[in-house]
Amino acid sequence: MVKKVDKDFKKLEETLIQVGLRIAKRGEGALFVVGEVKYMPLVNQSIPPFKAVENPKLLESLALMDGAVIINKQGFVSAYGVRIKSTKIMKNFGTRHSAAISAATGDNLVVIISEEDKKVRILRKGKMIMQIDALQKNVEQNVSHAVKILETVGAGAIGTIGTSILIPTLGVAFLPGVIFFGSAYLLGKVIKKELGK
C-alpha cells in the first residue's frame, strides 16, 4: 500500500533537491538526512533549529560545511556539520556516500550531492531510488514531477522496486536528467500515471 505523504514533506523533498542541484552545479558536495541517525558534531551547533523550506539559503550554507545536515521529520534542521558513523561502504564512492548509505535506514530520506560527478542521489531503505544530473539543461523544471513520482512510489514500495546501489544500470529515465531505479515495469506504470501519458 502506498502511504500518503503530506504536503510539507513533499515541499521539504523539493527544497533539498533544488538546494542539492545548486550545490552540485558548483562542483561541491553535501549530505542531507531527514530522520533519526547517530552522529557526532564536528562544529559548535550555534544556529538554533529552523525550518529548512523557510530558509534554503541558510540550509545551503550549512550544507557546504564538512559533515552532514540532519533534519527531523517536521522539517527542522536539528544539526549540521556532523559526522555520521558509517556502517556500510559503497564501493567506488567516497566517505560521504558511505555515510549516506549507512544513514538510509528505516524511514529516513537521504539526499547526497556528489562533487565528483555533479549528481544528486536520493536514498531510502538502504537503496538508491533516484539520481538527478545537475548538468542536464533545465533539470530544475523536472524536480516537482520527480518528487511526485518519488512519493507515488512511496517508501512502502521501495523494498519491492528498489535496486542495490551497486547496480545503477537498472535505472530508467522518464524525465530528462532524472533516473529512477527499480522495476522498469512498475516505475513505468507509476510514471505514466503521474505524468498523464
The pLDDT of residue 185 is 44
The mean pLDDT value for 97-121 works out to 92
Domains and CATH numbers, the chain: 7-195 (3.40.1700.10)
pLDDT score of 83: 95
128's CB contacts (< 8 A; 6+ apart) are 121, 122, 162, 163, 165, 168, 181
Instruction: Write the DSSP string, 19-53.
Output: HHHHHHHTT--EEEEES---EEESS---SPPEEGG
C-alpha distances out from residue 106 to 7, 29, 177, Å: 21, 24, 28
- The answer for 96, left when phi > 0, alpha when psi is -120 to 50, beta otherwise, is alpha
Angle at 145 between CA 144 and CA 150, to 5 degrees: 95
What is the average per-residue pLDDT within 6-27?
A: 93
Report pLDDT digits (tens) over 38-95: 999 999 999 999 999 999 999 999 999 999 999 999 999 999 999 998 888 777 777 8
Point out which residues pair with 119 in neighbouring strands.
Answer: 133
Question: Which residues, including other chains, have CB under 8 Å from residue 67's CB and lie 6 or more apart?
Answer: 31, 41, 42, 43, 80, 81, 82, 83
Binned at pLDDT 50, 70 and 90, residue 118 comes out as very high
**Nearest-10 Cα torsion for 54, 77, 23, 150:** -80
- Residue 25 has a pLDDT of 93
Confidence band (pLDDT; 50, 70, 90) for 4?
A: very low
Q: According to the model, what pLDDT value does residue 92 have? A: 72
Residue range 138-193, pLDDT digits in tens: 777 777 767 776 666 554 344 333 333 333 444 555 566 777 665 444 455 555 55
